[in-house]
Structure 1
Amino acid sequence: MVFDFHYVITSFITAVHYIPVTLALSLIPLFIGIVFGTLIAVCRKFRIRFIAPLADIIIPVVKGIPLVLHLFIMNFLILKPFDLLAQYYAWADVIRFMDKVYIAIIAISIYAVIIISETMRSALMSVSEGQYEACYSVGLTRWQALRRVVLPQVFPVAIPVLGNNLIGLIKGSSVVYLITVVDVMNGALTTAQINYRFLEAYIAAALIYWGICLLTERLFAVWENHMKKYQLGSAKNNLRQEVL
């Protein structure tokens, strides 16, 4: 079968309509990962009782499991209780009409929390212990030191890696087609299932993913340059105000 660029364009146009789904599967887990990943990183940094030892056990285990297995595990863990309820109450349509986008978001979010917690922990370690001691010496509590001095320095350091994390989530979200979620990948393949032009469909999906990742990289580069202007100035001003 001769390669036909016309089918690339057809698959591309079809897949473009599902870009919002791919972005939702990436940006929502990124936001959840930043919030909870930062909390976990802080707990591990200060060795908070119960939370830090538990995180030390869970994080290496979750990191060692591929994202596609996270997806399958969460799919069965979430659907099994609904399946039992459907059998008990004769809800035959519950499983059939359940939107699996939410299952995919949950699975990818758990993975994102673990990955981003490691990113934030590395960024926290980049701040010297002397800055914590300086904060404590002027009467700041641990939370005040984090909020006013440490975190303003941590996030600029973490931004490049967070950009890579987001790119990884965008590319990793393509596996959701395995649980019948229609994203960019599955959208491109819908045309290939009719005309059997799978190579053209894969190339169309690759072009879209490449464009999204390129734009993401550029946006994070702009954000990084913007944050660097205030990285040290903000922390020093906050500390100076507390001293005065």
Structure 2
Amino acid sequence: MRQVSYLLGGDAVDFGFILETLPTLIRTLPLTLYIFFVSAFFGFILAIIVAAVRIRRIPVLSQLMAIYASFMRSTPGIIHIFVVYYGLPVLLSNFGININNISRMTFSVVALVLYNGAFIAEILRPSYLAVSKQQHEAAISVGMTSWQAHRRVIFPQVVPIALPSLSNALIDLLKDTSLLFLIGLIDIMGQANIIIANSYGIYQLEVYVAIALIFWLLSSVLVAGLHALESYFGRFLRKEG
């Protein structure tokens, strides 16, 4: 049967419509994934800079980075999406920059990078500090440069310490992409709302179930990949022990 009884009440969920909707939603998935990976890449770069400044305790900059991280982590992501989308054009126009050439996708990436970079920075910083300073000193004493000591000794131990929390941060970033339809981006969530509008709201539940299944699958794949990385880098911690 096309319609199956829904356990929580007397309504029916049209699972056939869910299956019909999935291909349409999946066609917009590349945009969602592109935004996710680009935001994750630049978010990590920003996070490394913020974490490094705070670890080295650079005067003034360290305090500014601490305020930035605290503010971002204490406020909803949707606010930053709106602030970047509506506020950044005003700021850029004051410098004579034509905002008509800037796409919604660019604003989306900027907002996600600024927001999620703060969370990632606060994961990297304590993970780095958890590695004993004596290991860096020992590496220097056997003739390594500071960069070689970090690359061969410190970073391989920082990664497995940070990965469990990074998994949560990246899943949060993936879920945050679902907010971008609010600024008119036609990603997977934007397409979902088009389908709901075209069906006059009759199939809202079915569409949202389809979206939930897609994000669940994406998150599961992401977690599996990160667990594989954690197992690989975990050998460095076992060697240390």
Distance in 2 of aligned mates of 1:61 and 1:129? 30
Alignment length, in residue pairs?
229
1:50 maps onto 2:60 in alignment: yes
Letter of the aligned partner of 1:188 in structure 2?
Answer: A
Distance in 2 of aligned mates of 1:179 and 1:81? 18
Gaps of 5+ in 2: 1-10
The change in CA–CA distance for 1:39 and 1:135 in structure 2 (over 3 A counts) is farther
Aligned residue number for residue 21 of structure 2: 11
CA contact (8 A) 2:22 2:210 kept: yes
Equivalent position to 1:153, from 141, 153, 157: 157
Length-normalised TM-score, structure 2: 0.83
Distance in 2 of aligned mates of 1:140 and 1:52? 28
Structure having the higher helix fraction is 1
The change in CA–CA distance for 1:135 and 1:12 in structure 2 (over 3 A counts) is same
Aligned residue number for residue 238 of structure 1: none
Shift of 1:116: 0.7
Distance in 1 of aligned mates of 2:94 and 2:57? 40
Distance in 1 of aligned mates of 2:37 and 2:185? 16
Q: What do residues 151-199 of structure 1 show as CA deviations (whole Å, max 9, x unaligned)?
A: 1211122122222211111111100010011122222222111112111
CA contact (8 A) 1:27 1:166 kept: no
Q: Give identity over the alignment, percent.
A: 28
Q: Which has the higher contact order (CA 8 A, sep 6+)?
A: 1
Gaps of 5+ in 1: 236-244
1:116 maps onto 2:120 in alignment: yes
Aligned residue number for residue 223 of structure 2: 217
Aligned residue number for residue 5 of structure 2: none
Distance in 2 of aligned mates of 1:51 and 1:81? 23
Aligned residue number for residue 100 of structure 1: 104
Shift of 1:219: 1.1
Distance in 2 of aligned mates of 1:57 and 1:84? 26
Other structure's SS at 1:134 match: helix
Distance in 2 of aligned mates of 1:98 and 1:124? 37
Counterparts of 1:52-91 in structure 2 under 5 Å?
52-80=62-90
CA contact (8 A) 1:68 1:175 kept: yes
Shift of 1:74: 0.1
Distance in 1 of aligned mates of 2:137 and 2:191? 54
Q: What do residues 44-84 of structure 1 show as CA deviations (whole Å, max 9, x unaligned)?
A: 11212332122122211121121100100000123335778
Superposition RMSD on alpha carbons, in Å? 2.7
Q: What do residues 204-231 of structure 1 show as CA deviations (whole Å, max 9, x unaligned)?
A: 1111001100111111111211222345
Equivalent position to 1:188, from 192, 196, 200: 192
